[in-house]
Chains A and B, each alone.
Chain A
Amino acid sequence: MSEIETLVKELADKHGRKRESLIPILQGVVEKERYLSDEAMTEIARELDIAAAQVYGTATFYSFLDTVPRGKYVIRVCKTISCSMKNGNEVIKAISDILKIQVGETTPDKKFTLLEANCLGWCHKGPAMLINDTPYTELTPQKVREIIAEYNRK
């Protein structure tokens, strides 16, 4: 059994093999692999006995269910109005400068991906971002540098 087959089977054992189990399984794969490969989606389809197109259709609807390879740490910076008014652009630019990647790109060592996101629900403490599931708020270019340095040490 390949690694992905084992993972999908484990997740299906945990969440069930019903249609309702699909999103939790997709989330589980993303959590582990950071994205959904064609192989993973085909395997999920086989495990749940549904068409691969249905798996792909559901996966591509949700912005957190990535279908292209992502880094170990996915950075999502809020670009919605309250954060943007607090100079969210400077935060994006700072991260871009530090990691030497543009929005949408992944570092060559596959450690970080930089993305923009719609409202993260931290409008009173903008600018805000998520690194995987962890929120960071009231960001400045300096603060961002420290946070990324911390992740680099991990």
Chain B
Amino acid sequence: MDARHDRLVEELAGRLEPVRPLPRPAWRAALWLGAALLLGAALASRLAMIGLEGRGGTADIWLSACGAALTAVTAAYAAFATSVPGRSPRWALLPAPALALWVSGSGLGCLRMWFAASPPADDGHGLVSCFSFLVCVSIPLSLLMVAMLRRACPLRPNLTAALAGLAVAGAAAALLVPFHPHDASLSDILIHCVVVAGVIGLNALAGGRLLSRAAG
């Protein structure tokens, strides 16, 4: 059996090529977040930022936006950290406080609109545009994230892919705030929850399989 190992060692050493060590997870997360910001800037140049007009002073909107952005940052770092062998899987708990902030901020906004004297009427066009915005932002960010994660060796591909999905969902929700036409209503919250769950689930399913192949 030693001969079998020796043959494999010789074969691997024979086809060795120089590789550049991957940057640290913080740098890779910063790179991905920079790409997300570039995407947001591109959207701002094309779409009207009607979301901040007249409701920029509402606390729960900023709470929700900060929670979503922090979730994106922490989940992205956790995804890149868990993609490296030897890093603790407990990094997956890092986005939990930010996720709680995001959920509570969204819930507060929904409650505020529930008790408002004249809640705005939801039109189908607004919901569809909101849904399509989240999906259109999530797809390129997911593809970029999976492509970057595949360069590493995620030994827990499903966990890493789920964290990637959470980061993508948080970034998409944070980018949506300046373009959202009205305050968060119950239907908005439901749409957001469905899209976020879908993004995380699809990333965990498809991304997990892609990453498991990358891990050999």
Partners in one complex: no
Chain A residues within 8 Å of B, Cβ to Cβ: none
